[in-house]
Structure formats: structure tokens, C-alpha cells
Amino acid sequence: MLYSCRPNPAAHCPIFSHLKQCTQFHAQMIVNGVLFPSSLANLLAFLVDPDHGDYSYGLLLFRQVQNASSTYLWNTIIRGSSRNGRPTTSIDLYGELRVKGLRPDSHTFSFLFKACALALDLQFGKRGHGEAIRFGFESDTFIADSLIHMYSVFGRLDDAKRVFDGMVAKSVASWTSLVGVYAKVGLVDDARRLFDEMPERNVVSWTTMIRGYSECNREMEAMFCFREMMSVGVKPDSVALLSLLRMCARLQNLDLGKWVHQFAYKEGIEMNDRLAVSVIDMYSKCEDVYSARRVFNDMPRKNLVACNSIIDGYCKEGKVEDARLLFDQMPTKDLISFNSMIAGHVQSGQYKEAWTLFCDLRVTNLKPDSYTMVSLLSACANMGALDAGKIIHSFIIVNLIETDVFLGTSLLDMYAKCGRIHEAMLVFGSMTQKDVLAWTAIISGLAMHGRPKTALDHFAKMQRAGIKPNDITLVGVLTACSHGGLVEEGRLHFKQMQDTYLLTPKVEHYGCMVDLLGRAGRLKEAEELITSMPMEPDAIIWASLLAACRTHNNVFLAEMAAKKLLDLEPHKDAIYVILYNIYASMGKWYDASKTRERMENAGIKKECGRSSIMVHGGVHEFIAGDKTHPRFEQIQAMISEISRQLMVAGYVPITSDVLLDIDDEEKEHALFFHSEKMAVAFGLISLPANVPIHIMKNLRVCRDCHSALKSIAKVYNREIIIRDRSRFHHFRGGLCSCNDYW
């Protein structure tokens, strides 16, 4: 009996239609003491069939056969092991066969080479190739096909071509495998030439060519190839559709993906698990989770890969609650499930839920990887949770998680956004590989921390390292120039962006330039730049101009900028507040009151200033004048002490910043109960003297608080770090890192 004629004998045997009948038949054979070779072979073939059998039971049966000398039995178990996802077991079984002195046949080698391809074991595959030659199978077409396929998996073009050239009769499979290996090594045009030379082509050949174009990012040619296949009357199978669906998912081409799905339905192509998962993945990546869920609901067996795709789709559309509901219902979860769900919580700003889920992951047998760490570090960066970020960093080191360029960039970004630019630079310096994202992160971090010269030095080093900047890099460079008042440097980099780096400025870059010119008092130039923009200015640009007008008391330009802003964002409270403050600071109380009246009539309330500080793992938030904190009396006493100490040191409150109709004493009292001063007072009574006080504020630090914090840092010999809406302020020894330019 030739194995090639009956690849799955059990499928043709009515006796073994169910696993229960199969095991009962085996039991009868044992009781009767009769194990016929043909019956045993059929029984074993059924047991190792991945769709119907029980592989573990089949392997146990094979092990109990004394002195199994039938090559057919060995071939059955070797092939069955690979088909059940155990290719390394197949390789080990071949080794046992050779140790026993049995002679392999052409099927043995064919199954071995397929196992080596699945196990990614090229070394054993080449060893098997040598043995096949020694046994005289050098010209066997069946073996050659498997060899070329194996070498194609490893991208070994020369080895595959040698086998192909040595074949007397070349099969369609061998031609197809060689086309595949050309495409795999990037020689897709050579693959196409070979494809055109093929005397005969089947659906596998066409699919290989389509996949080759797709993997080389030549999607249009892949589509033309698919249409050409259809035009010559070759009907695509599920494997061909898999390649097209993966391409649609990568390109996020929903229209084409829907067409492929509908084509499969119209042509009656069976929606097996692999095809269903690819359809779900395509819809999820194209952000059509409703369609993905509909396909998912129709699946008779909901597998883990399909669940993960749905969760990913929900998270991308911001439907984290739906994703979490499905996640909690899953009977089994893998690391991909946890990573998708943690990332979904982080992207939705649900940082506490992400951290809790990480704790749940820790009690499983799953080991967190770099993707897990990147999501958690992003959460720490957004919260300014330095202590949590340090714990994650320690976890990475202790658990030997590989710090690739992606994870390294996330680490330095976390430290930069948590106020520790020195640690960020240490991480950056330790990175063996640095791509454009890593350089951009450190440049942007230095800019945020008031170190513009160092940021520009790193930009120069980046260029010397041969790394080409991108759009985001230039935003970081221009931000550094803006925060440092480096007008000429900013002009130069903005010009070089187009002339040297061939990058077209976007609205973000114009926003940086408007901010740079506005801060420097060059309001007319900022206005001219806005009018010359090739695109419509957005709210950020007009807000930058309005803020500059407030600093330099330009009422006319402020009114124009405010009008533009109100057209774009009519319900934004900051517009009214800044305009009110400009009028009030110049004594234009009628205009100020009119602005407040308009704000009240529109039902808009001023956003409260909030400052938060993390102490012993807990976040404490303060609002100006709020008395609800459990330790308010101690905070109040500390503020009184700070007030006395600062007055002795010569600090003078800037009462003009309090635009209320109250006397100066009440204004001074109101200033000392601003949210950032309350947070600093709490930090002084709660943290050890050698620990910096880290504060996050949702609004810009006011002039009086900025002046007071410089004095507090000097009087109490403490480092105070405040992250406000746009940058970091490091207060040390009576000075601030921004050099009072903010």
C-alpha cells in the first residue's frame, strides 16, 4: 500500500468514524490478543489526525507496539506529530528510527523536511538532505518538492535552486516553492519571471505570487495578480483569500476586505477557523468591530485568536468596556489577550484598571513581555507616576526582559515625563540601538525640561549618526527653540526642514514658530507668519498668539486672536479668561466685565486649577482654597510658616495677578492657597528632606506661584519639580530651569 495513494487511511475506514469507537476497537484488540498490522496502521492514522483523533493516545499506542519495524507506522507517527503542532517530536522520532537501524523511504524524508520547516530547524534539515542523497533519493520528485519548500521557508535561495536544477521532472509544487523563495528574499521581480515560465500553474502558484507581492509591500501588483488569476479561470481557495485579507488588514482597506469576505460567501468557500479569524482580524484592524463581532458570533467554536482580534478591535475604537466584557468571559487567556486589554485601558486613560490587570497577569503562569512593559510605562508617563515607573524598570531588569529600542524609548520617555530628565538621559546613553523615535523622545524631553541647548546638541549628534529626522523630531527641535527664546536658531531649523530634510511643514510646525515669535515679543512677525500659512490656522496657533498677547499686553491683536478662537472653540473657557485678564491688567474694566458677562451667558465656567502630588503610592489632589484634605490643618499651618519664611527672605506677592475686588491682604492670602502652593506645603510635611517634590498641574503656573516656588526651593533647600500644561519647571536654589522665560 503506497502512502501517497492514501494520505489518511482512517478517513476512508467506516469503522473509525468516532474517537470512542476507535478506543473501543483498540481495547477489543488488546483483550483478544490480536494486533493486525493493517488494523493497527489504520487505528494509528485515525488517532493522530488533528481534526478527529487524540494525538497523545496515538503516541502512547505507538510506544506500546513492541519492535515496531514497519516504516509505514513510523511515517504515520512522524507525519501526525507535525500535523498536531509537534514538529520537534517528528524530528526526534526520525532520530529514533535511524538509531533502530530502520531504512527510511521517500515519504519519511518528505515528512521530515516538512517538520524541519515547521520547527525552523535548518541544521537538521540539511543533515536529512545529506542522508536522503546517501539512500539514493537524490532524484525523487516527492522529496525534492519537500526540500525546496523547506529551503524556501528559510530563504535559502541557492540551496533551493540547486535542488530544483537537479530535478529531472519538475512538478508544479517545485516551481511554486522556488517562486516563493525568490519572493521571500526580496527578489519579487525574479519570482515573477520564474512564475511566467511555469508550464503549468495552479491556485497554490498564484497564491504564492500574490503573497510575494504583498510581503514586499507591492499591494497594487498583488491585486493585479489576483485579478489575472480570476481572469484565467483559476478559482481562489481559502489560502488565497487569507493572503488577500492579511493585505487588507495591513493596508486598513475596508472596502477591499469586504469584497473578499463577500466573494468567499458567494463562491461557497468554507469559512473555516483560519479564514474566519482572518476576516475578523481584517474588520478589527479596519475599525469595523461591528462586522468583526458578527463573524465572530457565527463561529461554532470561539478560539483564542478570534477573541484577541475582537478585543483589539474594540480597544482601537475606544470601546474598552465591550472589550473588557469579552475578556472577562474568555475561559482561557494568553499574553496577547492581557497585552491588548492593558493597552486598551491605557489608551482610554484608565490607568488604574491597566495596573490592576497587570497584577492579575502576575498571578498567572504567563510571563509579561516588552509589549506589556511599554503599555505600563506609557500609563506611568501620562500620570507622572515616577514610583510606579521605577517599579516597572526594576521588573524589567530582574526578569531579564530584553530592552529593545522600542522599550528603551518608552523608558526614557517615562522618566522625561515624570520629571527625571537625568535618568532619561542615562537610559538613552545605555541604549545600544537608537532609531529616530529614540532621538526624538530625548530631544523633546530636553526641550520640555528647559534645556534647549542640550536638545539642539542631541539633534546635531543625531544627524552625525546618520539618522534622518521626521516631522515629530522637528516639532521637538522647534519647541526647544521656543522654550529657550532661540529665535534665529528656530528660523534656521524651520527653513532647513524644507531645504535640507525635504519635509513639508505641517500646522504643528507653524504653531511652534508662532509660539517662538510670540514669546519673544515679535507679535507682528507671528501674525504675518499666520497669514502666510498654506493651510487654515487651527485653535492651537491662535491660542499661542493670544497667550503671547497677554504676556506683552497687546490688546488689539489679542481681540483678533480671541475672535478667531471663539469661532473654532466657542465653549473654551481659557479664551475668555485670558481676554478678561488682558483687559483687567490694563485697567479696561468695562471690557473685562463684558467678557465675563459673555462667558456667563454662554454657560461657560472657568476650569479650576488642580495640582496633584504622589506620596507613599497615593495621589493627593488640591484645588485653590480647598479645605477637604484630611490633613488640611497641618497644611494650613505649613503655609503660614512658608509665608513667614518667604517674607523674611524678601519675597513680595504679585497681588496684581488676583483680579478680584478685595484688599491686598486678602489677595496675599488667596495667593498662598493656590493649588500648587498647597501641594508643595503637603510635600514639605510628608516627604523626607532628600526627596524632590514632584507636582503635576493642569494649567499654566501663575507668575506669583513661579516667584514663590523659587524662594521656597532656596529657603527650604528642596528641589521642586512642577509639570504644568506645557513644560517642566525645576526649582533649585532660588532659580528655575526655564530662566523665567515661560
Cell 481584517 belongs to residue: 282
Quote the CA–CA distance of 600 and 233 in Å, as a whole number. 71
What pLDDT shows up at residue 665? 56
Quote the CA–CA distance of 433 and 632 in Å, as a whole number. 49
Q: Which three cell numbers stand for residue 208?
A: 504564492
Count of Cβ atoms closer than 10 Å to residue 339 Cβ: 24
Note whether 458 and 412 are within 8 A (CB): no
What pLDDT shows up at residue 657? 57
Quote the CA–CA distance of 531 and 213 in Å, as a whole number. 46
SS (H, E, C) 555-570: HHHHHHHHHHHHHHCC
Residues 603 and 629 in one domain: no
Quote the CA–CA distance of 416 and 338 in Å, as a whole number. 27
Give the ranges where 330-369 is alpha helix by DSSP (H): 335-347, 351-362
Last residue of a domain, one of 607, 639, 658: 607
Residue 552 lies in a domain: yes
Residue 638 lies in a domain: yes
SS (H, E, C) 635-691: HHHHHHHHHHHHHHCCCCCCHHHCCCCCCHHHHHHHHHCCHHHHHHHHHHHHCCCCC
Q: Which three cell numbers stand for residue 453?
A: 541647548
Nearest Cα to Cα of residue 340 among 311, 320, 377? 311
Quote the CA–CA distance of 320 and 171 in Å, as a whole number. 51
Residues 627 and 715 in one domain: yes
Note whether 243 and 207 are within 8 A (CB): yes
The domain in which residue 664 lies consists of 610-736
The SS3 assignment for 217 reads coil
SS (H, E, C) 257-295: HHHHHHHHHHCCCCCCHHHHHHHHHHHHHCCCHHHHHHH
Nearest Cα to Cα of residue 604 among 579, 572, 580? 572
Residues 570 and 581 in one domain: yes
Last residue of a domain, one of 554, 578, 607: 607
Residues 628 and 585 in one domain: no
What pLDDT shows up at residue 635? 94
Residues 594 and 667 in one domain: no
Residue 599 lies in a domain: yes
Residues 635 and 726 in one domain: yes
Quote the CA–CA distance of 160 and 31 in Å, as a whole number. 51
Residues 618 and 582 in one domain: no
Task: Tell if the pTM clears 0.85, that is, is over it.
Answer: no
What pLDDT shows up at residue 5? 31
What pLDDT shows up at residue 25? 47
Residue 402 lies in a domain: no
Residues 699 and 711 in one domain: yes
Regions of the chain short of the pLDDT cut 50:
1-19, 21, 25-26, 29-37, 659, 661-663
Residue 593 sits in a domain of what CATH number? 1.25.40.10
Q: Which three cell numbers stand for residue 98?
A: 535511524
The SS3 assignment for 146 reads helix
Last residue of a domain, one of 607, 622, 654: 607
Residues 620 and 710 in one domain: yes
Residues 614 and 701 in one domain: yes
Give the ranges where 399-506 is alpha helix by DSSP (H): 405-417, 421-430, 436-448, 452-464, 471-484, 487-499
b vs e for 238-269, b when ≥16 Cβ sit within 10 Å of the residue's Cβ?
bebbbbbbbbbbebebbebbbebbeebeeeeb
Quote the CA–CA distance of 509 and 628 in Å, as a whole number. 43
What pLDDT shows up at residue 108? 92
Residue 627 lies in a domain: yes
Question: What is the count of structural domains for the chain?
Answer: 2
Helix or strand run (H / E) with residue 512: helix 507-519
Residues 529 and 633 in one domain: no
Residues 575 and 616 in one domain: no
Residue 40 lies in a domain: no
CA distances from 614 to 287, 312, 385, 418, 539 (A): 37, 32, 7, 11, 33
Residue 413 lies in a domain: no
- φ and ψ at residue 610, rounded to 5 degrees: -125, 135
Residue 713 lies in a domain: yes
- φ and ψ at residue 736, rounded to 5 degrees: -125, 145
> pLDDT by residue (tens digit) across 416-430?
999 999 999 999 999
What pLDDT shows up at residue 217? 83
